[in-house]
Amino acid sequence: MISGTHRPAQIIIDRQAIKTNIQTAIAHLPAHTELWAVVKANAYGHGLLQVAATASHAGATGFCVAILDEALALRQAGFTEPILVLGITSPEYASLAATQTISLTVGSQAWLTAALAQLAKAPAANPLKIHFAVDSGMGRIGFREPTALAMAEKMVRQHSQLELTGLYTHFATADEADSAYFKQQVHHFKQFKKALKTLPRYVHVANSATSLWHQACAGNLVRLGVALYGLNPSGSDQALPYPLQPALNLETELVFVKQVTAGSKIGYGATYQASQTEWIGTVPLGYADGWQRRLQGFHVLVAGQFCEIVGRICMDQFMIRLPQKFPVGTKVTLIGQNGGQTISLQDVANFAKTIHYEIACNFTDRLPRVYLPEN
Ligand SMILES: *Cc1c(COP(=O)(O)O)cnc(C)c1O
């Protein structure tokens, strides 16, 4: 997608906020616990390479991504830290991953067999580093039986092309107040741990929610995602044990301002009708930028005042009702602070009936990311 560099609409990322969030998280970790920054999906929409650099400065010692391409992009940019691909990678890329020192997630013996065949065909200079994923109750990927895990361990020990580097699991309810299911998963994971002859270098279970609210079982590595961007993994359900600073702001400008008379209609379907003489402003971004159509009726900030989005949101533009005349070029804040008021990603998510994760990673490449410097 073409990036809109000649349009006044930008995502502004506060790198210092990310740095502070990571430093704060590290300060709260138990001793001998590493923090790896989860930078999948373009760092939750914040920008892969810029966030990775800031995370590295802040003390993150590795990265987690969802797909091999994200790991390759980090290597290509010169990052030398360990990188773990959290999703299932096709075994046909085993040699490529080994050559690039990228760790892959393994959840079955069948995968190991296929990867060994590939590594025999295209030998790599280094062994392929693998992390065993255990399905302790998430029901997504990973070994489901301790015996299968033990057999996989045996297989790895018999092949020098493979190196077991990690064992991990993922919790389904770490962000919830009721910890019954969480405890069940912890119990299952312990049984898997016992099935291994030797524990690998990294044993990890913690996403952001686990590291915030269940620190005791963090293992020796946490996979910090949403919290490093300053967002509460539970939405607003649970209080944070320490403050986090949101890093993402979305700003634009009024590109057209007009006064309309009572009865004037606005937008596709003519769904809005002015009830009196009103000032209407046009904002130059829309659902093609990730500002979802269902946000009709939500608001933005102009000069510290909440202005309602009126009419349907178009692909590239939407209209707002202004409390008074404002000049073209007046700043419009969709996410962030403006004149002492704030609209958060959580506010947007609440209105759109989803979670802030989805709002953040739905912003498309048409919106340029601008980076404020770290201290
Ligand atoms: C995405 C992901 C994380 C990070 O989750 P957050 O809630 O953003 O901290 C950690 N582990 C796995 C396996 C993931 O898929």
In order along the chain (375 residues), what is the average pLDDT of each group of 10 residues? Answer: 97 98 96 96 98 98 98 98 98 98 98 98 97 98 98 98 98 96 96 97 97 86 98 96 98 98 98 98 98 98 98 98 98 98 98 98 98 95
The residues that are catalytic are 40, 268
Would you state the torsion angle of the CA atoms of residues 112, 167, 22, 66, taken in this order, to the nearest 10 degrees? 30
Domain ranges within the chain, ordered by starting residue: 32-229, 248-372
Q: Is 233 in the pocket of ligand 1 (CB under 6 A)?
A: yes
> Which listed CATH number (1.10.3720.10, 2.60.40.1180, 2.40.37.10, 1.10.10.10) goes with 248-372?
2.40.37.10
Contacts of 310 (CB under 8 A, 6+ apart): 266, 267, 272, 280, 296, 319, 320, 321
User: Residue 125 C-alpha to ligand 1 middle, in angstroms?
Assistant: 30
pTM of the model: 0.97
Q: What distances in angstroms separate CA 272 from CA 174, 324, 349, one per listed residue?
A: 42, 18, 23
Give the atom of ligand 1 at the shortest distance from the alpha carbon of 226: 8
Q: Which residue's CA is the nearest one to ligand 1's atom 6?
A: 225
Q: Can you read off the two tokens belonging to residue 254?
A: 């009024």
Which of 125, 115, 124 has the alpha carbon at shortest distance from 85? 115
Q: From the CB of 207, is ligand 1 less than 6 Å away? A: yes
Give the whole-angstrom CA distance, residue 263 versus residue 149. Answer: 69
> Does ligand 1 come within 6 angstroms of the Cβ of 170?
yes
Please tell me the distance from the alpha carbon of residue 42 to that of residue 358, in angstroms, as a whole number. 13
Pocket test for ligand 1, best of 51, 86, 168 (most atoms within 8 A of CB): 86
Going by CA atoms, what residue is nearest to atom 10 of ligand 1? 207
Architecture of the 32-229 domain: Alpha-Beta Barrel (3.20)
- Condensed to tens digits (0 to 9), the pLDDT of residues 32-51 reads 999 999 999 999 999 999 99
Q: Is the CB of 333 under 6 A from ligand 1?
A: no
Look at residue 218 in the predicted model and tell me its pLDDT.
66
Tell me the three state secondary structure of residue 151: helix
Provide the 10 A C-beta neighbour count for residue 163.
Answer: 16
